[in-house]
Chains A and B, each alone.
Chain A
Amino acid sequence: MTQEMWEIKRLHLKPELVWSMAMSSLRLRMGRTLLTLLTVAACCAFLLFLLTAPISDDPADRQMWGLMITLSLIVSAAGVLNTMLMSVTQRYREIGTIKCLGALDSFVLISVLVESAMLGLAGAILGIFAGLLLSVVIGSISVGLGVFTAAYWSGVFWKIGAAALVGLCLTTFGAALPAYIAAKMPPVEAMRGEK
């Protein structure tokens, strides 16, 4: 009679289930979602603004600008990573629970990554628009109508790409480590982990 319980079958990792888990989580934790979204957007916007803003050819100025970009990246990275870390660690209990229901480690990991990537992507898009707007406004103050010339915007596409990539990577990597740890934990520890 107990033989049948050991006819192990492969459990299913259904993409639509991963998607619905990620989306429900984003929708129902709207406050946290918006907060993270704004953090990522602010990070991308600031980075893009720094990359596109006009700077003089003076090496000292350029050096200062480079330093500002690096510092701002570190500050925003720390903010985004911390937000993602908090958002995953606060869900250890839920992760433990779905593992009790038969979630594979890969399901846990992938659904958290999909959720974070969606957040990262949305934040990056918002941030890019905000960053470009900021660039136009600030740029028009310093160079006037020059801000609408093609020369001003040289290399803008790779700068947009870089800002988007930073946003996406920060959210995904920020969530990846705690999600991996939670996925590998015995369920009872994960359920206790929230405390």
Chain B
Amino acid sequence: MSTADEFIVAKDVQRYYASGTEVVKALDGVTLSVRRGEYLSLMGPSGSGKTTFFNMIGALDFPTGGSIHLGGRNLKQLRASELAYLRCRNIGYIFQNYNLVEVFSALRNVTLPMRFLGLSEAEAIAKAEKILERVGLGHRMHHLPGELSGGQQQRVAIARALANDPMLVLADEPTGNLDTNTSISIVKLLSDLSKEKNVTIVSATHDHRMLNVSDRVVYMRDGRVERILNRDELQISVGSIDS
């Protein structure tokens, strides 16, 4: 089914919701492939379907029609235990609202996926400390999420997403709640980490600053792919549109 080039293959993906008597077409036939190691950004206005598509790739929700293959397997055909393993081991998630476990310290948030995978507490803590230091939070790892700033919480979320060395990191509006300077540092961190660890990153975003680090940008509108731009085309269009 998939070649090495096609790490994620979405074919005619549809996601319909019933809203009263109406059917809302959140995704209306999205076809897209993502290469291994690629940094892909999904751009589009609110309601364009990028978060819905993000959820589909991450096996957090399932298509009404069409299929999504990840690493050659159809996500819809996986058993609950396989999905749990996939989410734990192979996918790291970063959300706009950070979604940290409020009752756990930064350190324990990062160790949680490792503990699910079977690492001992000591192993998990040693590894989590390294990752938290890498994201610049070595000094605040014992703080609860509520005691950290937005940028710091997002760093914890990034560290947690990378805990089990996933092949894929999904970031849904990772800079959506952050100020400009913090956003720039978060975008740089994500981009550096993707190069260091050769992970595939798919990021849904409004933020034009994320375009410069992307290999490709997929523009979505009304649940469909409007256009796809490669990095070289991108520099020109960003310059012409935004200047």
Contact = CB atoms under 8 A, between A and B. Distances in A.
Interface of A: 1-2, 5-6, 8-12, 14, 16-17, 21, 24-25, 27-29, 93-94, 96-105, 107, 186-189, 191
**Majority secondary structure of chain A interface residues (helix, strand, loop or mixed):** helix
A9 to B, nearest CB: 7
Contact of A11 (B2, B85, B121, B167): B85
Given A2-B36, A5-B71, A14-B115, A105 B88 contact: no
B89 A101 contact: no
A9 B7 contact: no
Contacts, number: 102
B113 interface: yes
Nearest to B62: A186
A8 B55 CA distance: 21
Contacts of A29: 103
A102 B7 contact: no
Interface string B102-136: 11100000001101111001000000000000000
Which 8 residue pairs of A and B lie closest in terms of their CB atoms, listed nearest first?
A: A102-B88, A2-B71, A102-B116, A188-B60, A24-B103, A188-B61, A28-B103, A101-B113
Given A99-B87, A102-B88, A186-B62, 19 more contacts: A1-B4, A1-B36, A2-B2, A6-B73, A9-B117, A11-B84, A12-B117, A12-B118, A14-B115, A16-B121, A17-B116, A25-B103, A94-B101, A94-B102, A101-B88, A102-B89, A104-B81, A104-B84, A191-B60
B88 A6 contact: no
A102 B36 contact: no
A29 B84 CA distance: 27
Contacts of B101: 94, 97-98
B82 interface: yes
B103 A11 contact: no
B116 A103 contact: yes
B216 to A, nearest CB: 20
6 contacts: A5-B86, A5-B90, A6-B71, A9-B118, A101-B160, A103-B116
Contacts of A94: 101-102
Contacts of A100: 58, 60, 87, 93, 99
A102 to B, nearest CB: 2
Interface residues of B, number: 40
A8 B85 contact: yes
Interface of B: 2, 4, 7, 36, 55, 58, 60-62, 71-73, 80-82, 84-90, 93, 99-104, 112-113, 115-118, 121, 144, 160, 164, 167
A18 to B, nearest CB: 11
A98 B81 contact: no
Contacts of B103: 21, 24-25, 27-29
B112 A9 contact: no
Nearest to B56: A188
A8 B88 contact: no
A98 B99 CA distance: 9
Contacts of A8: 81-82, 85
Nearest to A27: B103
A46 to B, nearest CB: 31
Nearest to B98: A97
Contacts of A188: 55, 60-61
Given A9-B118, A14-B115, A101-B112, A28 B144 contact: yes
Nearest to B167: A5
A2 B86 CA distance: 12
A125 B58 CA distance: 45
A101 B87 contact: yes
Contacts of B86: 5
Contacts of A102: 84-85, 87-89, 113, 116-117, 164
A9 B116 contact: no
Contacts of B58: 100
